[in-house]
Amino acid sequence: MRFLVNPNRFNNFSDIIIKPLTIIAGIFIITGLIFSLYLSPDDYQQGSTVRIMYIHVPSAWLSLMTYLIMTIYSIAALAFRTPFGFIINTAVAPIGAVFTLICIISGSLWGKPMWGTWWVWDARLTSVAVLFLVYLIIIFINLSFENRVVREKIAAIFILVGFVNLPIIKFSVDWWNTLHQPATISKLSKPSIDPSMMTPLIIMTFAFIFIGILVAILRVKTEIHNRKHNI
């Protein structure tokens, strides 16, 4: 597992893994799209719009997951002095921002036919919008300092302070009365979603995870290359 903290080993490992990962991601996204667009049934209330869920939910999970990974790497980088964490932070922040943007846009496209409005100021939606702004600020911090050492450390400190938002997003549907529904799939209880809709959701989640890892590997490799050659 040294490739998770060592840039050279990461490069070697990613050279091995990148071709199979591309193929697996392609297979997963194609089967997932076939399942979600043709094989899964319509909802009895929502009709065909329920298929937005297969994009919306995986991207929301991945936006949270990306921030969690960034937080873990910031702690590792600041406390245990592993500079690879800074590389991960700079490389992964735009990916998280894009996933959050996909989540917000697909959610508002889903909200128009179901709730009758593009946007409501309820707790879940607002906190996800704040997460998007936090991602944007991380990108801005990475762009606006001239000294690289200062820039990456300050971004890491900001990520740690901004972690407060994550539990708020997770529990916002339980703490406040929101229009957004509470979590359907949780670890502790039996999911209240039918298996015929559960299968495409899980396949799409794995497809999104593989695509995210693929883009992240490319970005991290570029970042390592840039730092080696002082670009």
Using only the alpha carbons of the chain, give its radius of gyration: 19
Instruction: For another protein, give the closer residue by CB, 39 or 149.
Output: 149
Nearest distance, CB of residue 174 and another protein, angstroms: 17
Specify the residue, 45 or 144, whose C-beta has the smaller distance to another protein: 144
Site string for another protein, 161-200 (x = CB under 8 A): xx--------------------------------------
Q: Nearest distance from residue 160's CB to another protein, in Å?
A: 8
Rounded Cα distance, 215 and 88, in Å: 12
Check binding of 140 to another protein (CB under 8 A).
yes
158 binds another protein (CB under 8 A): yes
Interface ranges with another protein (CB under 8 A):
130, 133-134, 137, 140-141, 143-147, 149-150, 153-154, 157-158, 160-162
